[in-house]
Structure 1
Amino acid sequence: MSDTDDSGVLVEHETKTGDQSAPAVVVSDDEVEALTVDEKIDSGPGKEEDDDAAATDDEAKPQALQIVSIGSEKDAYAFKFEEEKLQAILSRVPVGWDVSIVSVVGAFRTGKSFLLSWFLRYLYQVQADQKSDATNTEPWYERIESLGNEGFEWKAGSDRNTTGIWMWSHPHFIETGKEHPTAVLLVDTQGMFDHETTMSLTASIFGFSTLLSSYQIYNVDKRIQEDNLQQLALFSEYARTAVNDGIEESKKEGDDNDLPKPFQKIEFLVRDWQHFEDEEDDEDCEAMEKSMEKYLQTAIADRDAKDLQDTRQQILSCFANVTCYGLCHPGLAVTKKKFSGDVESIQPLFMHLLDRYCKRVFSPDNLEAKVIHGRTLSAAELGSYIQAYADMFASGAKFPTAATLLEATASANNTNAVHLAVTAYKEEMDRIAGPRCSNYVRPEELQEEHGMIRSKALTVFESVATFGSRNSIDQAKGKFLDQVEDNFQVYESLNTGRNPLAGMETYLIPLAIAAVSAILRWFTDLTCSSHSATCRASSEVLHHIYMVVFFFLLIVGATKAQQIKQILTRFRTALEVMSDGSSKNTKND
Structure 2
Amino acid sequence: MKRSSSNSGTSSSTVTPESVGLSGYPVQIVSVGDEHSFQLEEQNLRAILNKNGVKNKPVVIVSVAGAFRKGKSFLLNFFIRYLNYVMQSENHSDYGWLDDESMALGGFSWRGGAERETTGILMWSEPFLMRTEGGEEVAVLLLDTQGAFDNKSTVKECATIFALSTMLSSIQVYNLHSNIQENDLQHLQLFTEYGKLATSDVSDVKPFQSLLFLVRDWSYPYDYEYGIEGGNQLLGTFLELSPTQHEELQLLREHIRSCFETIDCYLMPHPGLGVATNPRFDGRLSDVEVLFKEHLAQLVPQLLNQENLIIKEISGNKVTAQGLVEYFKVYMEIFKGDTLPEPKSLVRATAEANNLVALTTAKSLYTSKMESTCGGDKPYLNTEQLKEAHKIFKQQSVEAFHSVKKIGGAEFSSSYLEELEHAIDEAWENYSSANDAKSILRTMRTPITLFSCFVICYLMSGLFAVLGISALVSLLNAMLLISLVLLATWGYCRHSGELREVGTKIDEFAQLVWDLALSGPIQKISDATFSQMTGLSAGAPTANISTHTDLTSGSRITVAGSQDSGLRQRKVPSTLGTVSGS
The alignment's TM-score, normalised by the length of structure 1, stands at 0.71
Matches within 5 A, 1:445-464: 445-464=385-404
Deviation (angstroms), 1:305: 2.2
Deviations 1:522-565 (A, max 9, x none): 99xx99xxxxxxxxxx9xxx9xx9xxx9xx9xxx9xxxxxxxxx
Separation (CA, whole Å) in 2 of partners of 1:112 and 1:206: 13
Name the structure 1 match of 2:304.
362
Matching residue's letter, 1:65 = V
Deviations 1:419-451 (A, max 9, x none): 11111211222232222322422x233222222
Change (3 A) 1:305 1:498: same
Separation (CA, whole Å) in 2 of partners of 1:307 and 1:517: 96
Deviation (angstroms), 1:382: 1.5
Is the 2:31–2:38 Cα contact (8 Å) retained in structure 1?
A: yes
Identity level (%)? 32
Name the structure 2 match of 1:94.
54
SS in 1 for 2:267: strand
Name the structure 2 match of 1:273.
218
Unaligned ranges ≥5, structure 1: 1-41, 43-59, 248-257, 278-283, 528-537, 557-571
Separation (CA, whole Å) in 2 of partners of 1:233 and 1:337: 36
Deviations 1:392-429 (A, max 9, x none): 11234x33212211221111112112111111211222
Separation (CA, whole Å) in 2 of partners of 1:401 and 1:520: 81
Separation (CA, whole Å) in 2 of partners of 1:136 and 1:487: 49
Deviation (angstroms), 1:367: 1.2
Name the structure 2 match of 1:324.
265
Verify: 1:83 aligned to 2:42, yes or no: yes
Matching residue's letter, 2:317 = R
Verify: 1:215 aligned to 2:171, yes or no: yes
Question: Which of these residues, 472, 496, 500, is aligned with residue 436 of structure 2?
Answer: 496
Separation (CA, whole Å) in 1 of partners of 2:438 and 2:527: 11
Name the structure 2 match of 1:576.
529
Is the 1:261–1:319 Cα contact (8 Å) retained in structure 2?
A: yes
Deviation (angstroms), 1:507: 7.1
Is the 1:172–1:185 Cα contact (8 Å) retained in structure 2?
A: yes
Matching residue's letter, 2:372 = R
Deviations 1:475-531 (A, max 9, x none): 2122111110111112102211222423345875797799799989999xx99xxxx
Deviation (angstroms), 1:261: 0.8
Deviation (angstroms), 1:71: 2.4
Verify: 1:296 aligned to 2:252, yes or no: no
Give the superposed CA RMSD.
3.8
Deviation (angstroms), 1:197: 2.3
Is the 2:87–2:128 Cα contact (8 Å) retained in structure 1?
A: no
Higher relative contact order (CA 8 A, sep 6+): 1
Deviation (angstroms), 1:268: 0.5
Matches within 5 A, 1:387-426: 387-396=329-338, 398-426=339-367
Question: Which of these residues, 133, 154, 174, is aligned with residue 130 of structure 2?
Answer: 174
Change (3 A) 1:136 1:481: closer
Is the 2:230–2:266 Cα contact (8 Å) retained in structure 1?
A: no
Name the structure 2 match of 1:259.
204
SS in 2 for 1:142: coil
Verify: 1:66 aligned to 2:21, yes or no: no
Change (3 A) 1:448 1:195: same
Is the 2:230–2:267 Cα contact (8 Å) retained in structure 1?
A: no
Matching residue's letter, 1:576 = T
Separation (CA, whole Å) in 2 of partners of 1:103 and 1:390: 17
Deviations 1:353-397 (A, max 9, x none): 11111111112232111111111112222211111111111234x
Deviation (angstroms), 1:148: 3.8
Moved more, 472-481 or 166-175: 472-481
Separation (CA, whole Å) in 2 of partners of 1:200 and 1:223: 25
Name the structure 2 match of 1:104.
64
Change (3 A) 1:425 1:519: closer
Question: Which of these residues, 108, 113, 117, is aligned with residue 152 of structure 1?
Answer: 108
Name the structure 2 match of 1:560.
none
SS in 2 for 1:67: strand
Is the 1:276–1:288 Cα contact (8 Å) retained in structure 2?
A: no
Deviation (angstroms), 1:578: 6.4
Deviation (angstroms), 1:470: 5.3
Matches within 5 A, 1:26-65: 62-65=24-27
Deviations 1:229-274 (A, max 9, x none): 1111222233221x13544xxxxxxxxxx43111110000111112
Verify: 1:115 aligned to 2:72, yes or no: no
Name the structure 2 match of 1:244.
199
Separation (CA, whole Å) in 2 of partners of 1:581 and 1:61: 56
Is the 2:156–2:340 Cα contact (8 Å) retained in structure 1?
A: yes
Change (3 A) 1:261 1:517: closer
Separation (CA, whole Å) in 1 of partners of 2:351 and 2:462: 78
Is the 1:501–1:574 Cα contact (8 Å) retained in structure 2?
A: no
Deviations 1:6-37 (A, max 9, x none): xxxxxxxxxxxxxxxxxxxxxxxxxxxxxxxx
Is the 1:67–1:82 Cα contact (8 Å) retained in structure 2?
A: yes
Name the structure 2 match of 1:481.
421
Moved more, 573-582 or 387-396: 573-582
Separation (CA, whole Å) in 2 of partners of 1:576 and 1:80: 62
Deviation (angstroms), 1:65: 0.8
